[in-house]
Amino acid sequence: MTQDILKVEDLKAYYQMNYFGIEREVRAVDDITMTVRKNEVYGIAGESSSGKTSFIKVLAAAIRPPFRVINGSVKYDFNGKPIDITTASEAEIEAIRWKHLSYIMQGSMSVLNPVRRIGRTFEDFAARPLGLSGRAFRERVVTHLAKLKLSPNVLNAYPHELSGGMRQRVTIGLATVCHPEFIIADEPTTALDVVVQKEVLQLIRDIQKEMGAAVIFVTHDMSVHANVADRVGIIYAGRLVEEGPTREMFFAPKHPYTAHLVASLPRIGDTSQRPALEGRPPSLADPPQGCRFHPRCPLAVDKCRREVPPLETIGKDHRTACWRWQDVKPLDHVHRANGQEAIA
C-alpha cells in the first residue's frame, strides 16, 4: 500500500497588491487538490505564468506577502510527523527544511552565492540538518558529491568557476545531501543544453530511486515529463486541469489542453504543421468565466462558458476538469508514435 506524503486540499493562494490606491488580486493558485505518494516522481506541467511556480512556492513554504494562502491546507507526512504548511509556525517549518523537505531551484546560474566557496555553501545549508561538523561533515559531503560524479575540489571553487552542468549538479547535491523525503525540483533542466539535461535527469532519477524520496518535478517541457515522471498534473491558469499516470496522459489525454501539449511535442523526421493554440493564456488577475480554457478550446460549448468544470475522477488515478472529456481525442495521427518515442 503506497502512502501519501503530501496532501493538498482546496488550496487557494493569491497575490494581493495595493499600489497607488488600486487593488489587484492575482489568483495564481485557485482551488487545487492533489496528493503525492512516497517514492514517486510527480510531474507538474504548464505554460509560464500558469501559476505552477506559485503553486510550488506554497509547497516549499515560501509564502511571502503579497502572496498569501487564502484557503485550504498543505499537509506533509514525514514518517508519521504530520505538518500543515499553511498553519505551522516559522520554527516548525524551519525544523523540516532541508532535513525532510528540500528544493532544487530553477536557474543554476543564480542560486549559488557568488561570493562564497561551494564548501561554505554546503556548510551553511547542510551542517545543521545533518548535525555534523568538521571532518565528519566534509567526508559525508565528499562521498555524496562522488555519487554525483563531482570531485572534492569543487568545494574550494566559487560558483563562477564551474560550468553550468557542474553548477546544476552542485545544487542537486545541496538538495539531496541530507537525504530528504520530499524534493521539489523547479525546472532544474531548463537552462541546460540537451546533453547535460539528459545527464542531470538521469542523476535526479538515480538519487530519487536510491533514497526513496518523493519528487515534485516542475517543467513546461512535456518530453522531460515523459522521461522522469510517474504521474503528471497539468496546471492551466491557476487550476489543476488534468492529472494521471504519465503513459495515459500521453496516449489518452482527457483534457483538450493536455492533448494540445502532447501533440506539440517535436518528433524526429516529422515536418508537418503543428496545430497551434490560438490566443494567449488568460490573465490570472481577470480570468475568464466558466472553464478558464474555453476561449482557446476547440471543443468549447455554451456550458463551458458558464460553469466551471469540476476535477472528476474518470479512471484509476486519472482526473480531469472538462465537461467534454469523453470527446477529447488525441490531436493527430503522429501523436501515438510521438508518445512512444518520448516514453521510450
In the complex, the residues that contact other proteins under the rule CB under 8 A are 17-21, 24, 60-62, 65-66, 93-95, 97-98, 102-103, 105-107, 110-116, 120, 124-125, 128-129, 158, 160-161, 174
Neighbouring CB atoms inside 10 A of 159's CB total 22
Q: Which of 204, 264, 229 is nearest to 42 (CA)?
A: 229
Question: Between residues 93 and 299, which has the closer beta carbon with respect to other proteins?
Answer: 93
Nearer to other proteins, 121 or 320 (CB): 121
- The three-state secondary structure class of 198 is helix
Q: In the complex, what is the shortest distance from the CB of residue 295 to other proteins, in angstroms, rounded to a whole number?
A: 27
Whether residue 66 has a cis bond before it, omega within 30° of 0: yes
Burial (CB count <10 Å: 0-12, 13-18, 19+), residue 244: buried
Given the complex with other proteins, which of 43 and 159 has the nearer CB atom?
159
- Tell me how far, at minimum, the Cβ of 26 lies from other proteins, in Å: 11
Of the pair 65, 134, the CB lying nearest other proteins is at: 65
Least Cβ distance, residue 200 to other proteins (angstroms): 17
Residue among 128 and 324 whose Cβ is closer to other proteins = 128
Output the smallest distance, CB 170 to other proteins, in A: 12
CB 247 within 8 A of CB 343: yes
Copy the grid coordinates of residue 273.
Answer: 504543421
CB of 28 to other proteins, least distance (A): 14
Instruction: Scan for cell 493558485, then name that residue.
Output: 29
Which positions ≥6 away from 190 have C-beta within 8 Å? 106, 107, 219, 220, 221
Question: Shortest approach of other proteins to residue 59 CB, angstroms?
Answer: 11
Question: CB of residue 29 vs other proteins: minimum separation in angstroms?
Answer: 18
Closer residue to other proteins in complex, CB, 14/236 = 14
Q: How many CB atoms lie within 10 A of CB 62?
A: 14
Residue 69 or residue 105: which is nearer to other proteins going by CB?
Answer: 105
Per DSSP, which regions of 85-238 are E strands? 101-104, 182-186, 214-218, 231-236
CA gap 98, 81 in Å, rounded? 15
